[in-house]
Amino acid sequence: MDNNRNFIIAIALSLSVLLGWQFLYMKPASDKARQQAIEAQQQAAAEQGADPTVAGAAIPPRASSVIPVPTTPKFASREAALAATQRIAFDTSSLTGSINLKGGSVDDVTLKEYRQTVDPNSPPVTLLSPAGSPEPYYAYTGWYSDQADVAVPGPDTVWKQQGTGALAPSKPVTLTWDNGKGLVFKRAITLDEHYMFTITDTVENKTGKPVTLRPRAEVARLYEPTNLFGYSVLHEGLIGLFKDAGLKELTYSSAIKNFDPAADNGKGASKEIISDKGGWLGFTDQYWAAVLVPDQSKPLTARLFGTPQKDFFVEFSENPVTVAPGASETFTNKLFAGAKQVALIEQYMADNKIDRFDKLVDWGWFPFLTQPLYFLLNWLYLHVGNFGIAILLTTVLVKLLFFPLANKSYSAMNKLKMLQPEMKKIQERFKDDKPRQQQAMMTLYKKEKVNPAAGCLPILVQIPVFFALYKVLLVSIEMRHAPFYGWINDLSAPDPTNIFTLFGLVPWTPPHFMMLGALPLIMGCSMWLQMRLNPTPPDPIQQKIFAWMPVLFTFMLAPFQAGLILYWTWNNILTFAQQALIMKRQDKNMNLLEQIGLKKSNGAAKHPSHSHDVAHKPKAEPVRAGKAAEVKPASTAPKADSAAPVAEGEANEAVSTAEGAQAVIDKPQPTEPTTARPVAPVAAAPRGNLASKKSVKQRGKSGRNRRPGR
């Protein structure tokens, strides 16, 4: 029973993983997000010391901030924070927002093409927000100076615009600031039609002496997001990629651990300092990102960290530059702030020669599966106009790709199902001797050329596709809020219905494990139908496991994306149809309703090696006593000194002994004249070669219980 034991262990481990995912990971993640939202609201109210719906008084810079942040009042809303400073607006086909003249930062970006919910009238997605708002998130560029008498622009510096007008793709803006001591700073900002800002800082030295400055840039997120996806299969947080150091990913909790409060003479600093060249760094969410792209040819020093007060920074600085009297120096970097559209990111990577910028999209551990599947789905979508239909067509293509393998496996499964009567005989014969039963089973499989594990191959093939599609639905912005038909309005989200609330008629929120929608229920039914065509496992425990498996999978997969459930349901339907066709081809008398248990069977299953059913065999003629002399004892039981291997003998006996007696009786006899009365035995005949009709029947019966060699 080693195979049974291993099978049960494998099923138990699989169910443990899936159940653990549901109850120990998915639910705690959602509970944690809700708790973080509550704590954030309480903290905001405590900081203001008043009603959180009104603006607070001006507050000093955060004492924990290693990098300077703007000194600004705490506002109750994003709109109030935007109205408190002078701004230069921009409005393109993809973005709307403004540049803050205080600090010259990009701190107001809204994505026009994406809504917060599936409701087309819901507000657009907000990406960046100014300091002082409930969720500060902005990009800032500037200069460092180690010389105390050199004033450089900081986060509170108010810049002036040269000329007037809004920022547009064909119209850049220029900001200026004079420190009053001979240094003039200029900042030119351009924006393309999509999500890329280009920021060029220039400093002119009119002091009459050399000045040393260090260019720098940062993206600051002065809060921890509460609307994260929350699963380790998708990275959300701080991210950077560098030429030699490679890809760096820090979650918000690990970013705080990367902070050393004792470093930099007690001011605090990042534990890890990256000295490298080129690359990019920023923050990434499930669908959005704010990323700095430095000059790819210049060395840099980068830091990615958070503070205990949950201020998070990604920052880089270039090597110090010395500006000679009457000379100028320029510092250029880019800012990507928008949706992680795969085609657009690849275009930016090619046009700007950004090192491995496509890593901004988290394709997981198996990009060689995930990326081709994404491109296939996207290509089909461009032709059919619906991602749900694209998923259905992709499923068909996957089935066609693996059709030869699946066809062979399903044929073997059907043959195995037709061996059920012989397997049952072996079980009954060796019910008290499990090792010999297993040995006889394996001999039967070998004789009939059947692989009992063949049915696992189609499932194993589907597993990589399943997880690849799961990843595609998770990371591709194109499938966000993508509708199907009927009640499925977002293929990237779980089924919104719930049978336990009567699809919304009952005002009740079920617990997490009871989130069961209509589509997962259909998936469970399709899985049950498909499994009914599989051979019945010989072990009773296996039978119970397979009987409950559709129910367990229905509940466990219910929280997954609707697109994934759609794929699995359609795959079950195609598999059911394929198996039914194969079974019908091998047995033209097969009744599909009988196979799935919806109609009572009228006959026994056929052995695959039989050319016709046992029920249609000619009825055996009675053996007359005179013909008993033709029956050989060796045909009913082997001799004691048989040289055949024990295992083979046992298996052959187990398979054939049930039909042994009947085969002897049915053996064609020579046509001789016979009389009505029994013929007397011939005296010269060898012992055992003459028997009465009764003795032949007795041998047939005893042959069922006789072992080889006895």
Amino acid at position 545, single letter: I
From CA 103, how far away is CA 69, in angstroms rounded? Answer: 10
Q: How far apart are CA 217 and CA 187, in angstroms?
A: 13
How far apart (Å, rounded) are the C-alpha atoms in residues 213 and 150? Answer: 9
Inter-helix orientation angle 646-666/420-429, to 10°: 110
Q: Residue 547: its pLDDT value, please?
A: 80
Q: Fill in the amino acid letter for 425.
A: K
Eight-state DSSP code of residue 58: B
Q: Are strands 259-260 and 269-270 parallel, antiparallel or unpaired?
A: antiparallel
Tell me the residue ranges of DSSP E strands in 319-419: 321-323, 328-339
Other beta carbons within 10 Å of 404: 9
Place of tokens 């901030």: 65
pLDDT at 23: 46
Strand-pair partners of 141: 217
Cα dihedral sign for 18, 24, 25, 29? Answer: positive
Residues 283, 129 contacting (CB under 8 angstroms): no
Rg of the chain over all Cα atoms, to the nearest angstrom: 38
Cα 496 vs. chain centroid, distance in angstroms? 19
Q: What is the pLDDT of residue 698?
A: 47
Return d(Cα 337, Cα 473) in angstroms, integer: 22
pLDDT in tens, 277-328: 989 999 999 999 999 999 999 999 999 999 999 999 999 999 999 999 999 9
Predicted pLDDT of residue 702:
45
> Token pair for residue 256?
């705080």
Q: What was the pLDDT predicted at 306?
A: 93
**The predicted structure's pLDDT at residue 307:** 92
The encoded tokens of residue 535 equal: 């051979």
Residue 173, burial from CB neighbour count under 10 angstroms (0-12, 13-18, 19+): buried
In this prediction, the residues of the chain whose per-residue pLDDT falls under 70 are 1-66, 230-231, 265-266, 410, 452-459, 535-539, 598, 601-710
DSSP string, 575-636: HHHHHHHHHHHH-TT--HHHHTTSS---SPPPPTT-SS-GGGSPPPPPPPGGGGGG--GGGT
Residue 709's φ and ψ, nearest 5 degrees, are 85, 0
Whole-model pTM: value is 0.73
C-beta separation of 410 from 579 below 8 A: yes
Closest CA to 567 of 453, 454, 464: 464
Domains and CATH numbers, the chain: 134-362 (2.70.98.90), 371-595 (no CATH), 618-668+685-703 (no CATH)
Helix and strand counts by DSSP (H, E) for the chain: 17, 21
Q: Does residue 653 contact residue 426 with C-beta atoms inside 8 Å?
A: no
Give the separation between CA 384 and CA 400, rounded to whole angstroms: 20
Contact status, residue 66 vs residue 307, Cβ threshold 8 Å:
yes
Q: Who's near 592: CB < 8 A, 6+ residues apart? A: 580, 583, 584
Q: What is the pLDDT of residue 565?
A: 94
Chain-centroid distance of CA 248 in Å reads 22
Q: Check if the beta carbon of residue 70 is closer than 8 Å to that of residue 156.
A: yes
* pLDDT score at 419: 78
Return the pLDDT at 56. Answer: 38
354-370 burial code (b ≥16 CB/10 A, e <16) = beebbbbbbbbeebebb
Which residues in 32-52 are b (16+ Cβ under 10 Å) and which e?
Answer: ebeebeeebeeebeeebeeee
Q: Which pair of structure tokens corresponds to residue 137? A: 């998130």
pLDDT score of 441 = 81
| Amino acid letter, 273 | I
- Residue count (the chain): 710
Q: Check residue 477 and give its pLDDT.
A: 94
